[in-house]
């Protein structure tokens, strides 16, 4: 609890009277996150609301939503569930079929859809901050993924402080940025917080899994490497602020508005709309 509060203070994650939307999937990170946020906000004039996204993953997501509902009911807070089908016209399982056998890994589609669905859900309920359960291990893995893909600029622009201003975006914050996965599991067990333990069936396709294996193996030699990577990431964010990274022109990329939905993007369409266009094109060609 003290570590999370310190992280909140360091990155100035919240303000007075914030309406805080907590993304709750039912997994350990989100269930513990909701517990911690409710406890930390008890003495503050802010409101905590739980939101869940139903991606439409058969045999997996319904179980997670059960734990998410249990978590929200435990604290008597509002809980809203939104779905890929409502937002994009297709469940994830259906979308993967429509994308065909030569599609990319499932996370390449689920990720953009889920980020947009969470943001739109937070906006619909009037939230001023969107809180996700990304932990220290996740953050370090993401930095390595960006490096391996030759897209370190993405790390430069992923500022942990809620500074991005656009009418379409609810600032997303990560109070668990410096809390490890092991600490979260321990907290859940010590506080008897039930959560979904089953992994997503599509996780085996994810590039993130390779980064997790690399870090897990290296942590045998240096258990602090995760925090070293996060410090490097913070240094990059600081460097970006010194060279005017908050301007509309980020590096050599110009921020535009998506033709499909109006959200900020780097090209004509945002990631979600590009996927929808690909699905619609495949439907027309079959």
- In this structure, are residues 129 and 123 in contact, taking their beta carbons and an 8 Å threshold? no
- Please tell me what DSSP assigns to residue 60: T
Q: For the domain bounded by 2-284, which CATH number is listed? A: 3.40.50.620
For residues 173-195, one letter each, b for 16 or more C-beta atoms within 10 angstroms of the residue's C-beta and e for the rest, the string is bbbbbbbbbebbeebbeeeebeb
**CA-CA distance, 224 to 174, in Å (whole number)?**
20
- In this structure, are residues 130 and 171 in contact, taking their beta carbons and an 8 Å threshold? yes
- In this structure, are residues 162 and 173 in contact, taking their beta carbons and an 8 Å threshold? yes
pLDDT at residue number 267: 85
How many CB atoms are located within 10 Å of the residue 117 CB? Answer: 23
Average pLDDT, the chain: 90
Listed residue (248, 250, 272) closest to 260, CA to CA: 272
Q: 155 by DSSP, 3-state: which?
A: helix
- Percent helix, percent strand, percent coil in the chain, to nearest 5: 50, 10, 40
Rounded to two decimals, what is the model's pTM? Answer: 0.91
**CA-CA distance, 170 to 180, in Å (whole number)?**
25
Element (H, E) at 130: strand 129-131
Parse the chain into domains and list their residue ranges.
Answer: 2-284
Residue 247 has pLDDT above 60, yes or no: no
Residue 17 has pLDDT above 80, yes or no: yes
- Taking only the tens place, the pLDDT of each residue in 144-200 is 999 998 887 777 777 788 876 777 889 999 999 999 999 999 999 999 999 999 999
Q: 52 by DSSP, 3-state: which?
A: strand
Q: Is 241 exposed, middle or buried (0-12, 13-18, 19+ CB in 10 A)?
A: middle
Residue 249 has pLDDT above 50, yes or no: no
């Amino acid at each position: 609890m003290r570590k999370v509060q310190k992280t909140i203070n360091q990155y100035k994650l919240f303000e007075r009277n914030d309406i805080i939307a907590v993304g709750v999937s039912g997994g350990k990170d989100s269930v513990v996150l909701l517990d911690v946020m409710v406890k930390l906000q008890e003495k503050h004039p802010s409101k905590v609301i739980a939101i869940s996204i139903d991606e439409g993953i058969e045999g997996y997501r319904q179980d997670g939503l059960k734990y998410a509902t249990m978590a929200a009911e435990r604290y008597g807070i509002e809980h809203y569930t939104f779905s890929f089908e409502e937002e994009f016209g297709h469940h994830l399982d259906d979308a993967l079929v429509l994308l065909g056998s030569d599609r990319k890994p499932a996370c390449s589609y689920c990720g953009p859809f889920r980020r947009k669905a969470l943001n739109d859900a937070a906006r619909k309920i009037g939230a001023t901050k969107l809180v996700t359960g990304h932990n220290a291990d996740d953050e370090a893995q993401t930095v390595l993924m960006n490096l391996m893909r030759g897209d370190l600029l993405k790390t430069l622009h992923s500022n942990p402080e809620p500074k991005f201003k656009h009418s379409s975006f609810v600032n997303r914050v990560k109070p668990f940025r410096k809390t490890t996965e092991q600490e979260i599991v321990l907290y859940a067990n010590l506080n008897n917080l039930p959560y979904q333990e089953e992994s997503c069936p599509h996780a085996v396709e994810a590039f993130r899994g390779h980064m997790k294996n690399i870090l897990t193996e290296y942590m045998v030699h240096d258990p602090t490497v995760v925090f070293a990577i996060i410090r490097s990431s913070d240094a990059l964010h600081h460097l970006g602020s010194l060279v005017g990274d908050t301007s509309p022109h980020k590096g050599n990329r110009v921020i535009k508005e998506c033709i499909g939905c109006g959200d900020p993007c780097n090209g004509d369409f945002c990631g979600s709309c590009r996927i929808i266009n690909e699905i619609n094109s495949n439907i027309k060609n079959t």
